[in-house]
Structure 1
């Protein structure tokens, strides 16, 4: 049976209590805790107190009230917003903030946080964290065309798609805290900002001037909705390439030349400048003509993957400046979407023609010379029918490069009209074109003469031949102008002649050097249409009506030929010396089948008649006399410093190299008389002199400024020339010799050869992409793929920067 003794236990407990010391009492009540409370505004919004950044709230009473009825406590926050309450016995406490909430802020933590003091005591923490109500910066970027100070959508120009950046602080340095682009109406907004100092930076176009500067600083208070309108002066005009690179929705102003406006829809047209091309869709498109220069303002966007400007809000027409020259492209470049929006040209073989609708619109599959397949898109409303194509035939094709992402080959050439198709290829050589009687062809050449009394008549030539042109719409042309002509080959009085539909000046350069010919070649009409020169004995001058002249000259071989002079050239009959004198005549070889012989040299002006020294011929004539011994007078342009046997010379008709054992030391500018045998070395026409006499001195000759195309065509061989362009590549060969490639403004590539013994080492060249101007003699080496090259003479022949 269990026994209990309750009275004995109660007495024992009472005795134990009476006998407790202070340590015994602590064990009964627990250890006190310390509570640290911080009150602050979380300025940077990171959720934690950051000294020196966040704003402390000082002089506020913090109270801790026991939720179990025990003693609590209070304390006041100091300068750092911190209050400390000590001696809190175990239990739970509700903490109160006894101050006024900072204006414009909200409490981010609990309104009355509860802390628990443990039995053993602890260092407790809590906080009253406030955050500011967010502020904002809004505005609009616009040009105040009505000078009102406020944006008027009917009068002012908004700047859409312009980049803007927001920085914390008073400078636009470091990483921006926000970036954006202005909307279609130029508006922008930076929202949810904490109070403080901010700097707004505008990424302005080069053509814009921001009123007050591109950076503007302002101070934001809590809940402040700051308005910051940004005004600009100037224009939004950029080049077309930059417009293409702009963001969708950006307002741009571009200036370019119209290359096509769809004849069935004036809303759609293309324009380009020197940097790129682009499609335009103008809901109020006016009637435009190809070749007109216009400036438009509109929004850069895209349609079916094709970049375009639409809508257009302003257009100004500056009149006709001529159709741009089409860019020659490859099939690979078309398929890669390069040069989208530009006028281009390419030759290709038609593989297939496929109709895409019942109206005759069709797609033509073509391969270029490299075997790359590309597409031609033809709207039936261009006037080009599917039946106009001949599968398997070669065409010269011109058009704009369009894009439609719905197609398998989205990038495509879009034909504008029937004239954009050239059966047989695009630009033919003049020699080939001369054989195509009755055909429509395209040729390109250099103007050698336009009759000053009748600008309808002019002559041009390339490296293969020359031709006369009769064009009722011709403008004044200059000798040396490079022109592209589309027209029909025919004849007039036995002279092959072209009747153009269009003549486009595509560049300019030096006039052609004349070809040295003989009387027999003139009589045979061998170089009809070309600029030639010949030396001989004056036989007679037959004066015709109006002081025109029919002149007979006998060459060194005894062959007589005719020279015709229209007195309107400025060369009168009195300019000729007495019969028996030696004369040198330059002019184009024309033809009139009413005469016998029909072929004749037609003098262009008084400068084409030179009274010469008997027994001497021009350099141009000497170049054509392979194997013959001749005498010429010319000016030295270069003698190689490392081998005096090699030198170059030229007169007003052409240049030539010489190789002479025992050659005297010559200076640039020396006038020399040379007798020697004409030959060649590695296809370079060269003289082997027997006698060289220095007959005078003078300043060095100025170089002939040429294009890369002229260099590559072998024109001006042996002459001192100069080409400017962009450095593409420097290839170092053995002994530090160099083969250099330069791209000229027309995109042609010229080869420069440098023998390091002239003092020019590879390090002398700048980095690729730099502008350079190179001078040298035009040499030839038939061992090379591109045999024609400019040979640098010394360091002075290289100019960096133009």
Structure 2
């Protein structure tokens, strides 16, 4: 297991480090026994200059009888001696009988950090029982001093070497205290290897509450090494070392991160975990996380263990209940920020709103930086106070706050001034909209100023409009309208009357808008409907950005797409900063115009836009150039994929240039490839491919004369050249998740043709059923009532299927029959007129159990379209029902290639595509804990399928896709040392 290897490597490094240092500091000479009374006893060590500081060395004397230490000498107390070739000698002299006479005794050399450099002994070996060498067995040097050794002799190393290992201990000879030994020559020591690249936790301990998101910071230290590529690490929850369990997580309990491996790039990374809020009072629990390097040239440093204290979530109250508690009470609330500026933010839930005032501190800074803003989900604990009737949590009364996530900002309640005058307390702290508000004053708004307002319901002036202090609002200096719709927070400023003094607090300049005349503004319409409105129409649409660069973005929904062009302004800046990009969901209002046939919202025709969220980028539609030439208008602005495209050109692409292309379906030049202006694409100056490749692009148009011509494949991202097919599976609706259950005929089943020959004696019944399925919710049922002359006279054919010429594919289908004895033939071939077969499984015997039938086939050169018919016209099938499910055709070997580890380490399978849900099957070669989760194309986890133990026995879990938007997702199994991914398409 990779994690075990990582732990072993770390331990080995710790053990090896003292050994390496021992070659740079070692015992060189000593004297302990002589004739008569012991005298002149000393120890001499050699230290490599610049590698180890002598003050970091400790000498410890050990008694071999029992193994305990009996004296310690600090390196700072040593006397410096001679130097030679990068080594310096240091000595320490002991009083008479200061060093014991053996049988055996020993000397340990260690660092002040406790790392043992040497543990040598004389007259035998023994095991230390304390001190730095505790538990280690000494190395006998093999020579000794007898009781008749002449005074002035010693034991010393001889020979020529750069390390201790190259010297030899010699029998007693005349001592050379502080000088190079007799017969000894030091060679220059080798410089030490630099410390390895290390990855570690930024913290050793953290504290969170249940329901919180824990962001774990990781650090990469190059230690003077040069980067050698990306480094990927795995952060794993260690259940056995924790009082918490995987049930305490609302997310996966493992996460990975990758450092780019470039000095110029950030050497910090983050992973996140979400802890579940179980509403139980359990007291603090600990969650221990271990860090391991899974790929790249690095080791784990210190700390590589993170201990997190997980405390119970505060018992929260609704905002209404908190308000009812009253002044002086400490409350904990959770809600969504409706407005935030300067010293004030306003938090709202379904029951009410509350003002939070902070003139300094972390929350004030978070508002200033935008980290806390409208849409921020937040938990706050503090004591309620009141100022001029306004209930709030003020200043130091705020005890704590936690950001829980983000969502849409609360929708304002539409109210009248009369309702506010009558019952303003019910709306205090909440976001409201008042229609058609008339302002008595004119000119421009000023900060810290109150204005007289009225509407059709009330002209008493009881409710006023207030522009807060300059830092608390962006309204200061904007024009006062005569009549406008006003969105505001309800405040209060009245020390005398608890039921009076209510104010419309104007926070954002855009909250004071055009009068609606009592209506609600234009409704969002599907993009296809907006396109049908035509040039000059003002439309409001919402969709997902598929591509965005420079002056252009392309917005797409399930019905169509539209080009948005902005050469300056807020949206242009948002694209440049990356705040708006692929996956951004935009609500756009503007007037349609046309340029050279391309329908768009251009420049000043854009009235407004709003980021309303994020979503998976729509999967490119697989089309041919012939389809685009025949019906390009249907694809204008949409993201498409064309397989097997040959570009007429060589060298590198050039910005603002059009290229002829061919995909064997269309080579007349009716559809061209266009590289936009340099600012609008990253394809400029990238290589033109030599042969046929898959290309993803947006369909544009440039033709002033022919509204049906001039369609272009706009390539905007360098990664879209030689792009993989949008899905490994070239079969559309292979799981028969469309249409709804019921009898089907002809072209009712997307992606399939249902064919019955004229010679069939009684027509079969084709039906989509939801009571029998191998995977997912549905399968196709074929009930045979009569036969024709040949098996293919009753046929279900997946067609047309776009493939790449010369590529090898794997055909797979699952089938069963209502009763034993069913028969079917499965074929893959070219379409009419050749019907050339590429693969076949003939006369397959079916049983009442699901069986998989597979065959590999290779697409001939020049072929980019195939069909896959299944034949049922067999006499044995009359009166029987055959069920078909999970028909797929995928490039051979490419599913396994997606995995970063060997396929045998784990298995993961799921039907594809899915509609409302599917069964996920998984296993591990070696038993352990895994997480199986679904991620969107931005890498965000959207569903947890399983989290717990797994092993060689296959397990199943249900993937619920009912609440997911259609699009492409990644299903990922992740364990301590394994990660397997599968691409999943959700259809609606």
- TM-score normalised by structure 2 residue count: 0.33
Higher relative contact order (CA 8 A, sep 6+): 2
- TM-score normalised by structure 1 residue count: 0.39
